[in-house]
DNA sequence: CTAAGTGCAAAAATTTTGCAAACTA
DNA sequence: TAGTTTGCAAAATTTTTGCACTTAG
């Protein structure tokens, strides 16, 4: 997976900004990319502390901001009172089918949709850099259970 | 528009919960649905205060939570450090061009994209109920300033 | 009348920032 | 060595809560 690539990509990004590749940054990133799901800062900080005691909370915040700036992660709002982070597979899609019943998330990519997005952007004089498409509804199984449709 | 419907829908919802339809709630809702865009609490509170002085900030928070619970609105994370609210027009669009430089948000609707979403959903046996499309990039003005492509 | 809601201010929770020490390049 | 990053704690922000008073039903 991405686990092979994040270190190189992060290092590359830090270099371009004239920054330093430090141990705390690599530790936070490593723990983050080893985790599944969408940890918030507190959960992530706990996990980092467990593997590498002595890492400050501010560093976790700052490192996650770095990962977001570099495009390796992004924040997602799940309605909790805090930010949660999602690992971004560079070549991956940002399109999801999200089942509101069971929470399952299906990733997909649709070239035609991306082309239309470009099209719409240009029409508004907008320079598209990235996108996120979330479709909410019921997956096959849950639709069956709820006996709808 | 929805402006005709929110009052009835809100009243209905409040009744089902055994709550009271109060003046402050109606004021906040009215100002919110009269606004365009995606106000945060502070912006909304200012607008409410302007039209109906003496409305407390906590009431704005509590009323927006009520609107979200009732399905008339929802929160959106636009990367500012606070929650912004979006009016949910039952028949409306949830598509945005978001400028990562100046924060401007342009709403749009593209029938062709929606059709493709339906298409993709069906292909995955997914029953689409709602969607969110956010396109990030630079608006015309910011692209000019940054002198990019 | 009773239960729910309001406004204010205090409290809680999350995120950012200042700074001396430590570290990368 | 020069400039960046860290960890801590303090500060800033956003959101929630306690409470006496008011209001809807």
Q: In this predicted model, what pLDDT tens digit does every residue of A38-96 receive, in sequence order?
A: 899 999 999 999 999 999 999 999 999 999 999 999 998 877 889 999 998 766 677 88
Report the first-to-last Cα separation within chain B, whole angstroms: 39
Per the CB < 8 A criterion, the answer to whether A53 and A72 are in contact is no
Residue A78: its H or E element: none
Beta-bridged to residue A138, according to DSSP, are B127
Per the CB < 8 A criterion, the answer to whether A64 and A70 are in contact is no
Residue closest to B61 by CA, chosen among B23, B94, B32: B32
Nucleotide nearest to B40 (CA to C1'): D14
**Measured between alpha carbons, how far is A140 from A18 in angstroms, rounded to an integer?**
49
A91 Cα to chain B: minimum distance (Å):
17
B24 Cα to chain A: minimum distance (Å):
25
**Which pLDDT belongs to residue B39?**
97
pLDDT category of residue A146 using cuts at 50, 70 and 90: low
Tokens of B19: 């709550």
Interface test with A, best of B38, B101, B135, B140 (most A CBs within 10 A): B135
pLDDT category of residue A4 using cuts at 50, 70 and 90: low
**Measured between alpha carbons, how far is A4 from B48 in angstroms, rounded to an integer?**
52
CA of A61 to C1' of D10 (A): 17
What is the CB neighbour count within 10 angstroms for residue A27? 18
**Which pLDDT belongs to residue A70?**
94
Q: Which residue is it, tokens 């850099």? A: A129
Q: Residue B14, class by beta-carbon neighbours within 10 Å (0-12 exposed, 13-18 middle, 19+ buried)?
A: middle
Angle, helix B6-16 to helix B57-70, in steps of 10 degrees: 90
B17 CB inside 7 Å of strand D: no
Asked if A132's CB is within 8 angstroms of B143's CB, the reply is no
**Chain segment B63-97, per-residue pLDDT in tens:** 999 999 998 999 988 888 999 999 987 766 778 89
**Measured between alpha carbons, how far is B143 from B119 in angstroms, rounded to an integer?**
33
**Chain segment A21-41, per-residue pLDDT in tens:** 999 999 999 999 999 888 999
Q: Which residue positions in chain B have pLDDT lower than 50?
A: 1-2, 148-149
Q: Which residue is it, tokens 């636009």? A: B78
Which residue on chain A is closest to B77 by alpha carbon?
Answer: A77
- Average pLDDT on A6-15 reads 96
Highest-confidence segment of A120-129, A140-149, B103-112? A120-129
Per the CB < 8 A criterion, the answer to whether A106 and B86 are in contact is no
Task: Report DSSP state, residue B58.
Answer: H
Whether pLDDT at A136 is above 90:
no
Query: Which of A109-119 are b and which e, b meaning 16 or more Cβ less than 10 Å from the residue's Cβ?
Result: ebeebbebbee
**Measured between alpha carbons, how far is B115 from B111 in angstroms, rounded to an integer?**
6
**Measured between alpha carbons, how far is B77 from B81 in angstroms, rounded to an integer?**
8
Mind listing the domains of chain A with CATH numbers? 5-87 (1.10.10.10), 95-145 (3.30.1490.190)
Residue closest to B117 by CA, chosen among A98, A129, A101: A98
- The residues, any chain, with a CB within 8 Å of residue A143's CB and separated by 6 or more, are A149, B125, B126, B127
Interface test with B, best of A133, A138, A139 (most B CBs within 10 A): A133
**Which pLDDT belongs to residue A68?**
95
Whether pLDDT at A149 is above 80:
no
């Amino acid at each position: 997976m991405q686990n092979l690539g994040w270190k190189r990509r992060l290092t590359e990004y830090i270099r371009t900004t004239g920054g330093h590749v430090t141990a705390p940054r690599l530790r936070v990133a490593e723990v983050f990319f080893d985790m599944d799901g969408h940890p918030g800062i507190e959960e992530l900080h706990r996990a980092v502390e467990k593997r590498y005691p002595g890492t400050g909370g501010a560093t976790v915040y700052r490192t996650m901001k770095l990962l977001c700036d570099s495009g390796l992660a992004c924040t997602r709002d799940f309605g909790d009172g805090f930010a949660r982070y999602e690992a971004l597979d560079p070549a991956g899609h940002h399109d999801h089918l999200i089942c509101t019943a069971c929470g399952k998330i299906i990733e997909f990519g649709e070239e035609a949709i991306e082309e239309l997005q470009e099209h719409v952007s240009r029409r508004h004089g907008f320079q598209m850099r990235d996108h996120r498409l979330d479709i909410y509804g019921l997956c096959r199984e849950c639709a069956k259970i709820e006996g709808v449709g």
